[in-house]
């Protein structure tokens, strides 16, 4: 059985109109609030595109999903957008179960998500 991480690491790199946020670990009930604050703060800086690299995120709960949605709502104030990259199968299934794939486009790589930035 996978040993789940119980911490979340956010690494934010901004390059022009794109901010790439690499999420690693677990976005569970104890981590979701700090994640929400980080994403809302980034969205408030009016960066047009936030790309969440989920490739190293092993777990997310409803509060973590809520943090992404809060960032998305803040982005919309300035017509910005959040895109998701390469979620692990269990996280992808959760995004599909909640139908959040309808809200957030999912890309295979950060490069693909960035290239299709219009």
Order of strands across the sheet that contains 8-15? 8-15, 18-27, 49-60, 81-85, 106-107
Number of residues binding to other proteins, judged by CB under 8 A: 26
Q: Enumerate residues 17-56 that contact other proteins by CB under 8 A.
A: 28-30
Residue 10 interacts with other proteins (CB under 8 A)?
no
CA atoms of 74 and 112, how far apart (whole Å): 24
Structure tokens at 55: 């490739």
Structure tokens at 104: 């957030």
Shortest Cβ 58–other proteins spacing (Å): 9
Q: Enumerate residues 51-80 that contact other proteins by CB under 8 A.
A: 59, 61-63, 65-67, 69-70, 72-73
CA atoms of 19 and 33, how far apart (whole Å): 20
- First-to-last C-alpha distance (Å) of the chain: 42
CB nearer other proteins, residue 53 or residue 58: 58
Which residues contact other proteins (rule: CB under 8 A)?
1-2, 4, 6, 28-30, 59, 61-63, 65-67, 69-70, 72-73, 90, 94, 97-100, 102-103
């Amino acid at each position: 059985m996978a040993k789940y991480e119980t911490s979340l690491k956010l690494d934010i790199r901004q390059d022009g109109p794109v901010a790439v946020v690499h999420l690693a670990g677990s976005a569970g009930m104890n981590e979701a609030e700090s994640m929400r604050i980080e994403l809302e703060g980034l969205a408030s800086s009016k960066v047009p595109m936030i790309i969440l690299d989920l490739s190293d995120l092993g777990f997310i709960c409803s509060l973590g999903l809520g943090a992404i949605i809060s960032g998305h709502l803040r982005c919309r104030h300035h017509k910005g957008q959040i895109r998701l990259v390469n979620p692990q199968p269990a996280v992808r299934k959760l995004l599909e179960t909640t139908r959040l794939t309808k809200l957030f486009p999912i890309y295979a790589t950060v490069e693909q998500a960035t290239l299709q930035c219009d």
